[in-house]
Amino acid sequence: MHKRIFIFLNLLLIFNLALAEPIQKIPELPNFSSLAEKVTPAVVNVSVTKVIKSPAQGDMRRGPFNDPFFDEFFGSPYNPPNRERKVSSGGSGFIISEDGYILTNHHVIEDASEVVISLQDRREFSAEIIGSDEKSDVALLKVQTEEKLPFLNLGDSERVRVGDWVMAIGSPYRLNATVTAGIVSAKARSVPGQTTSYIPFIQSDVAINPGNSGGPLFSLSGEVIGINAMIYSNRGGYMGISFTIPINYVKEIVNQIKDFGIVSRGWLGVSVQEVTKDLADSFGLDIPRGALIGSVLKDSPAEKAGLQNGDVILDFDGQQIIYSGDLPLVVGRISPNKNVNATIFRDGKKVSVPIKIGKLDEKIAQDTTVEKKAEPKNILGIAVKDIASLTDAEKKQIGRNKGVIVTRVLSGPASEAGIRRGDIIDKIQRKNINNINDYKNASKALKKGSTIALRIIRDKNGSFVTLKIPK
């Protein structure tokens, strides 16, 4: 009996001690109200008027409501042919100096004939476009006023960490001074679907919608860390992924606009692709990282420096290249004519290459492929034809006179790798394929069960693909 009482008292004591343990306080979520009150006066609406010509088309009538309100939001199908008309659009922006400099997106004011800035206290100012850069999607505006305007402090986007709380203010769907908040999801992000990007986006889950473009993204200290630029959505509205241009990058653009009126970017002259695990294995690279060169443009800084198709750029100007999208971000921020060093992986070795950076110009190249009758299938599951056997017109059409062109894709490794009819093959395992004999010899040397790298050219852009040879 005494023993039972003793056990009971001990259990009771343990229970009471447990109750006496202090309950840890759960950290409170940030309160954005004070921050919103402080910074909102310097966030503006940007109203844009554009003059466009109506297309020549038949007499189409208004919708059943015959109301300009619906035309404003949904567009009117009726416009007299070849007549000029004014259309309105808008976005957001923010004041960065008391004398009236304002930042917004390029796409907000693109082709504008008139820009009007509206403050939260209902004051309006006509704005001058000081400069605008399409590639960075940054525009600098200026309003003339004797008044000192409220303005925002620009922060340091390099100090932003993944997981930090952030807040946005803008005018989605013309709902002025709308405040939304979230956390930073990633940094130095390339937008999915874009092969080349010169913007190292901050990704967040802050709700951004049409009309938010050009507005600021704030840290909890109230400093601007970026310009809200776009969302990633398959239905036009917010889906939890937003992209912001880092303010440090914006500062560089603004300084160039103020000093020179234009923005100059570095240019290397290569097309690159991701290094997959299979590609890394085929090249003898321990870790699948870097930017794999698919093609080198003629007379480009890359060609002059001796860079080759199949080189993997691991470091550029002292910065590590982890993903292929890192390279244009780094190169674009380097001043033209600057001498830099790149570390590349070639033939199983790391090599340092000196490069003189060029100046980026717009270059658009298009190509069409040639379809011919198929030749017999080989181990890769494709049929090819010697480019040298094509007519001069066909060679001119595809822009090459060496290599082999794919004429049929059957079931097999090539089909699984996404190779298409009309693709040009000019390398197998880094061996040049100049003609059909080179192709046959390289194919015969392929080992069953191995993974090989094959370079194809499609629309004048070169890229490497990996194929698994069946056992």
pLDDT at 6: 57
Most confident of 46-55, 75-84, 296-305: 296-305
Number of H helices, E strands in the chain: 11, 26
Confidence tier at 8 by pLDDT (50, 70, 90): low
| pLDDT score of 383 | 80
Enumerate the β-bridge partners of residue 356.
Answer: 339
Judge whether 30 lies within some domain.
no
Q: How confident is the model at residue 374 (pLDDT cuts 50, 70, 90)?
A: very low
Instruction: Looking at the structure, tell me whether residues 386 and 405 fall in a common domain.
Output: yes
DSSP track, 145-192: -SSPPP---B--GGG--TT-EEEEEE-GGG-TTEEEEEEEEEEEEPPT
Q: How confident is the model at residue 55 (pLDDT cuts 50, 70, 90)?
A: low
Which pLDDT belongs to residue 403? 84
Task: Encode pLDDT of 311-328 as tens digits.
Answer: 999 999 999 998 888 888
The one catalytic residue in 54, 107, 367, 386 is: 107
- Are residues 274 and 292 in contact, defined by beta-carbon separation less than 8 angstroms? yes
Kindly state whether residue 103 falls inside one of the protein's structural domains.
Answer: yes
pLDDT single digits (tens) 254-285: 988 887 777 888 899 998 888 989 888 888 89
pLDDT at 73 (0 to 100): 38
- pLDDT, residue 111, reads 85
pLDDT confidence of 102, banded at 50, 70, 90? very high
281 flagged as catalytic: no
For 283-314, write each residue's pLDDT tens digit: 889 889 999 998 898 889 999 999 998 999 99
Judgement on whether residues 47 and 93 belong to the same structural domain of the protein? yes
At residue 360 the predicted structure's pLDDT band, cuts being 50, 70 and 90, is confident
Whether 466 shows a pLDDT value over 70: the answer reads yes
Average pLDDT over residues 349-357: 93
Domain end call among 217, 242, 260: 260
What's the length of the chain? 471
Residue 153's nearest CA partner among 39, 255, 37 is: 39
392 and 414 together in one domain: yes
Whether 21 is covered by a domain: the verdict is no
Given a cut of 90, whether residue 63 has pLDDT beyond it is no
Q: Are residues 254 and 314 in the same domain?
A: no
Per-residue pLDDT band for 408 (boundaries 50, 70, 90) equals: confident
Task: Please identify which of the residues 132, 157, 185, 213 carries the catalytic annotation.
Answer: 213
Q: Which of 211, 243, 260 corresponds to the end of one domain?
A: 260
460 and 396 share one domain? yes
pLDDT at 69: 37
Tens of pLDDT, residue by residue over 113-164, are 899 999 999 999 999 999 898 888 999 999 998 889 999 999 999 999 999 9
Query: Residue range 435-440: average pLDDT?
Result: 84
**Is 347 found in the same domain as 401?**
no
Shared-domain flag, residues 126 and 83: yes
Per-residue pLDDT at 441? 83
Nearest to 147 by CA among 97, 104, 102, 103: 97
Question: 143, 169, 198 — which closes off a domain?
Answer: 143
Q: Is residue 284 part of a domain?
A: yes
Please indicate, yes or no, if residue 168 is contained in any of the structural domains.
yes
Percent of the chain residues past pLDDT 90, beyond the cut: 37
Is residue 364 assigned to a domain? no
Q: Which of 137, 278, 423, 438 is catalytic?
A: 137
Number of domain units in the chain:
4
- Give yes or no: residues 273 and 184 share one domain: no
The pLDDT tens digits for 225-236 are 999 998 776 666
Q: Catalytic: 213?
A: yes
Sign of the alpha-carbon dihedral angle for 206, 212, 218, 224: positive
| 137 assigned to active site | yes
Q: Which helix (H) or strand (E) holds 254?
A: helix 247-260
pLDDT at 415: 73
Does residue 369 form part of some domain?
no
CB of 132 within 8 A of CB of 110? yes
What is the token pair recorded at 305? Answer: 């420096």
- State residue 404's pLDDT score: 86
Asked which of 8-12, 108-112, 205-209, 318-322 is least confident by mean pLDDT, the reply is: 8-12
Best CA proximity match to 59, nearest among 77, 43, 40, 82? 77
Q: Kindly state whether residues 343 and 321 are assigned to the same domain.
A: yes
pLDDT of residue 370: 30
Give the per-residue pLDDT at 366. 30
Q: Look up residue 175 and give its amino acid.
A: L
* Mean pLDDT over the full length of the chain: 80
Nearest-Å Rg of the Cα atoms of the chain is 29
Q: Could you tell me if residue 181 is inside a domain?
A: yes
Residues 135 and 165 in one domain: no
pLDDT band at 363 (very low <50, low <70, confident <90, very high): very low
Q: Are 256 and 274 contained in the same domain? A: no
pLDDT band at 450 (very low <50, low <70, confident <90, very high): confident
Q: What is the pLDDT of residue 304?
A: 94
Same domain, 346 and 397: no
Domain residues for 301?
266-359
Can you give the CATH number for the domain in which 90 is found? 2.40.10.10
